[in-house]
Structure 1
Amino acid sequence: MNYTLQQLRIFKTIAETKSITKASEILHLTQPAVSIQLKKLQEQFDIPLTEVIGRQLYITEFGNEIAQVSERILNEIQTIRYRSRAYKGQLVGTLRISIVSTAKYVMPYFLSGFMREHQGVDLQMDVTNKAGVIGSLEENAVDFALVSVLPEQFDMDMVTLMKNKLFLVGSKAPVEKGRNVKKSDFEKLPFIFRENGSATRRAMVDFLQANGIRTGKRMQLTSNEAVKQAVIAGLGYSIMPIIGLKNELNMGSLQILPVKGLPISTTWNLIWLKSKKFSPIAEAYLEYVRAEKDAIIREKFQWYEGY
């Protein structure tokens, strides 16, 4: 037999997802490439690894056994890689981070330099909402989390990174140029909200309630990116963090609308449980953030400070 590690990795992913399409997305490969490697692996066995019933892909009993063996082989290869780097005095292992969805526009810039410097470190980053981040902390499943609203139920330490600013945005102004959007204007505007559990939604709702503002038609979407695309398409208006709107603001597909009391300003904080026992990787990353954060903000987020 002459199967490759790539074939085993692909088949393990197919077995986990029960889908060539999903496996190709996870592995960042084309569907034809995944199908070809599956076919080459199958050619080395007389017993089917998969079967298709209707349009659904199923893994055979034999295929499940091969998937389990593949996982063990790939884990051993990973162990060899870690041990090889450890003998060279390099950091090895996984850095685990949970972030709220809007933080995907922030966190990568505070990771890229560290990951380049430490080739033996893998990254596992869960992008979720505030409720998901809290769950990760409760389960001690992560080293760090990045949030703009601090959870109140934990005893935490933190490093403050940068401001998070939320403005009213739309694809076009609902009032004449130069005039603020007033309380009476909001009642005519279709408004797009994030889902329950989102810190962005909480900030928006708090602002509207504190100012006695009622909006027009309401819509709810489950990601910041979905809200952004809906606002660009003219479905409605929203109060959004502008950290993810740089290109849209520059191109004019979105504009900030002046409203008394906005922007809402919070702070991005890298947090961790005070009782957390850091691994060498987590300790090294915290040192990196403390040393480099000001330079990263100056280099990558200078545009943002002007708003």
Structure 2
Amino acid sequence: MNYTLHQLQVFLKITQTKSITKAAEELHLTQPAVSIQLKNLQEQFEIPLTEIIGRKLHVTDFGKELAVAAEKILNEVHAINFKTLAHKGLLSGRLKLSVVSTGKYVMPYFLSGFLKQHAGVELVMDVTNKSKVLECLENNETDFALVSILPEHLKVSNVELMQNKLYLVGRELEGDGSRHHGIELFEKLPLIYREPGSGTRLTMERFISSNKISVGKKIELTSNEAVKQALLAGIGYSIMPLIGIKNELNQKDLKIIPVDGLPLITSWNLIWLHNKSFSPVAEAYLNYIQQEKSSIIQKHFDWVDKYKD
């Protein structure tokens, strides 16, 4: 046997994604490069690791067993690397975060300085919707989660990072003249919603329900980027977090439409399970956030203040 750690890493990613294309995307490799690594690994075993049925890749039982072993081996390699750095007096280990999809516009700025200070820290960040973020947190699969709505069913501790303002956004209304509108405007517009489980959708639905708004045409899309592209195409309007549309507002491709009761204001919170036992890396990161959050906000998010309530 002469397989390499790189081959095991590629194979493990293939088993996780069930796709050579998706594995290549997540590993930042070309599709042919991933196929070659799989072929080279397969040549060392007489039993098939994968099979193609109806153009779909399936992992064999033997392949699944090898994937479990590969993950253990790779985890041990990571542990050796971390211990080497620790003996040098450097902070090392994995920092695991689960972030709601719109949080991708926020979280990197609260990470970059910490990662630059500690080269031995490996970041693992999953970006998904609110329901999956909370599921990951509840299963103790992550150190911290970033959410804009605090969970009611979990006992968590939190650090509030910054405000999250949501406005009605879209292409300019005909004959609008930048005038202020009453909430009855919502009944005249095609509204675009995020998918169920999204924190943005929950905030939007609470506003519409509390104001007894009768929604006409309703469109549902499964990501913040998909909603934004639909708005740019003039398909409809949506209540969106300001943080995700900075460039579109600056370029005047989208416009905030003033409406009674808006903006809706929530807060970005870094949360963790109450009484969680932190790793040295997680504890160091929490200390960093508590000390540096004000300067991070001032440096990267001062533009938010020009959009007054």
Could you say whether these structures have the same fold, taking a TM-score greater than 0.5 normalized by the shorter chain as the test? yes
1:256 paired residue number: 256
Q: Shift of the alpha carbon at 1:47?
A: 5.6
Query: Structure 1 residues 12-21 or 62-71, which shifts more?
Result: 62-71
For 1:198, give the aligned amino acid: S
Task: Give the Cα separation in 2 of the matches to 1:65 and 1:267.
Answer: 44
| Residue correspondence of structure 1 range 106-255 to structure 2 within 5 A | 106-255=106-255
Task: Give the Cα separation in 2 of the matches to 1:124 and 1:265.
Answer: 29
Task: Give the Cα separation in 2 of the matches to 1:143 and 1:64.
Answer: 27
Calculate percent identity across the aligned residue pairs.
Answer: 60
Q: Shift of the alpha carbon at 1:61?
A: 5.5
Q: Shift of the alpha carbon at 1:166?
A: 0.5
For 1:148, give the aligned amino acid: S
Task: Tell me, yes or no, if the aligned pair for 1:137 and 1:273 is still in contact at 8 Å.
Answer: yes
Going from structure 1 to structure 2, the CA distance change for 1:118 and 1:255 (only over 3 Å counts) comes to same
For 2:40, give the aligned amino acid: K
Task: Give the Cα separation in 2 of the matches to 1:265 and 1:279.
Answer: 33
Task: Give the Cα separation in 2 of the matches to 1:70 and 1:142.
Answer: 21
1:27 aligns with 2:27: yes
2:6 paired residue number: 6
Going from structure 1 to structure 2, the CA distance change for 1:88 and 1:237 (only over 3 Å counts) comes to same
Task: Give the Cα separation in 2 of the matches to 1:155 and 1:81.
Answer: 34
1:16 aligns with 2:16: yes
1:37 paired residue number: 37
1:81 paired residue number: 81
Q: Shift of the alpha carbon at 1:179?
A: 1.9
| Residue correspondence of structure 1 range 290-301 to structure 2 within 5 A | 290-301=290-301
Q: Shift of the alpha carbon at 1:70?
A: 3.3
For 1:261, give the aligned amino acid: G
Task: Tell me, yes or no, if the aligned pair for 2:178 and 2:257 is still in contact at 8 Å.
Answer: no
For 1:149, give the aligned amino acid: I
Task: Give the Cα separation in 2 of the matches to 1:62 and 1:271.
Answer: 39
For 1:254, give the aligned amino acid: L
Question: CA RMSD, aligned part only?
Answer: 2.3
1:265 aligned counterpart, secondary structure: strand
1:78 aligned counterpart, secondary structure: helix
Q: Shift of the alpha carbon at 1:189?
A: 0.7
1:272 aligned counterpart, secondary structure: strand
For 1:255, give the aligned amino acid: K
1:187 aligned counterpart, secondary structure: helix
Q: Deviations over 1:106-149 (max 9, x none)?
A: 01110111122222222222323333333233333322222222
For 2:288, give the aligned amino acid: Y
Q: Deviations over 1:176-210 (max 9, x none)?
A: 21322333432221001123332212222222233
2:92 paired residue number: 92
Going from structure 1 to structure 2, the CA distance change for 1:47 and 1:152 (only over 3 Å counts) comes to closer
Task: Tell me, yes or no, if the aligned pair for 2:183 and 2:260 is still in contact at 8 Å.
Answer: no
Task: Give the Cα separation in 1 of the matches to 2:63 and 2:140.
Answer: 34
Task: Give the Cα separation in 2 of the matches to 1:100 and 1:64.
Answer: 30
2:304 paired residue number: 304
Going from structure 1 to structure 2, the CA distance change for 1:53 and 1:135 (only over 3 Å counts) comes to closer
For 2:239, give the aligned amino acid: I
Task: Tell me, yes or no, if the aligned pair for 2:138 and 2:273 is still in contact at 8 Å.
Answer: no
Going from structure 1 to structure 2, the CA distance change for 1:133 and 1:57 (only over 3 Å counts) comes to closer
Task: Give the Cα separation in 2 of the matches to 1:263 and 1:145.
Answer: 24
Q: Shift of the alpha carbon at 1:24?
A: 0.8
Task: Tell me, yes or no, if the aligned pair for 2:183 and 2:261 is still in contact at 8 Å.
Answer: no
TM-score (ref. length: structure 1): 0.89
Q: Shift of the alpha carbon at 1:254?
A: 1.0
Q: Shift of the alpha carbon at 1:154?
A: 3.7
Q: Alignment length, in residue pairs?
A: 307
Tell me, which stretches of 5 or more residues in structure 2 are unaligned? Answer: none
Task: Tell me, yes or no, if the aligned pair for 1:175 and 1:181 is still in contact at 8 Å.
Answer: no
Task: Give the Cα separation in 2 of the matches to 1:47 and 1:207.
Answer: 58
Task: Give the Cα separation in 2 of the matches to 1:251 and 1:123.
Answer: 33
Query: Structure 1 residues 115-124 or 51-60, which shifts more?
Result: 51-60
Q: Shift of the alpha carbon at 1:69?
A: 4.2
Tell me, which stretches of 5 or more residues in structure 1 are unaligned? Answer: none
